[in-house]
Structure 1
Amino acid sequence: MRSTRLRNRAAAMVATLVAAVLVPLAAQAPAQAATNGATGTAAWTPQIYPLFSGEWVQRNVASGDRNTALVACSLASGIACVSVGQGDGKHSVFHLFKCDTRSLSNFVDALAVRNNQTGGAQVHFWGPRYSTKIPANGVITTVPDYATYDFNRLDIC
């Protein structure tokens, strides 16, 4: 009887340890859009962290309006505007101006940037395999999806 209790306790302990390891690993998995049979692919929410005081994000910009939103966002000098797809045909447009390094999440596709900063400041995206620097020339620059998916950091100086 005693050995049965010991085996039950040991099994419970192993199950608890496995759960303690697997649950945090699942939380770290890369974002992927879930499918919904009725509506197709679900959207995701791109994030840049941190957004500083005075910086903002405009969500749900239609694909046809993305470039107009980037230009409107970056009319003032000293501004860098980043647009990235949300997986549902819409985009999030970020209005950034503070020189700092930020973390990215859910940057999957349709990345476009209009850098209207002064002093030659670049918008620099990088990840484990790819890196790109976008000059301060006021031109809308698009980035291939394979690189966008790799990016996990952004610096706008």
Structure 2
Amino acid sequence: MKHLLAILFTFITFATMAQTAPLLGTTDAKLLTLESTCTWFNPTYASYQPDASTIAELNKALSKDATFLVFGGMWCSDTQNLLPKFFKTLEAAGIPQSSVKLYLVDEQKNSPDKLEKQYGVNNVPTFIIMQNGEEKGRVVENVRQSIEADLLKLLQ
């Protein structure tokens, strides 16, 4: 019986650690929607309503080969605020999640693959628009108007 309890305790401990382990480096954005991964994503995503006219303009301004590099931190309140709004904006614009490369960093803004260094990311979140393989612009840490308006401004 003691061995069974010890095994059960070990299993529960590892299961809990796996659920609370920080996401770092290249991350599948679908993990953000899991309640066990982050409680903040779905409520903000559901409540955010991007401006329809700005979305239409954004959709026109983006080239078909546009991609987004997104750097964030699960611990960061700005990331928690803007990341769900960003993904809601892309959905409204009909931009597939496959166009987004999501990289998560720790509190020192480091990740295992060091892409944040390659792209000169010092603050999170950072949303970088890439077109034709080149950086078109970036939104860093906060927005002036809204995520969709600030992205559109980069493309004009």
Structure with the bigger RCO (C-alpha within 8 Å, sep 6+) is: 2
Give the helix-richer structure, 1 or 2: 2
Same topology, TM > 0.5: no
Return the structure number with greater strand share: 1
TM-score, normalised via structure 2 length: 0.31
Highest Rg: 1 or 2? 1
TM-score, normalised via structure 1 length: 0.31
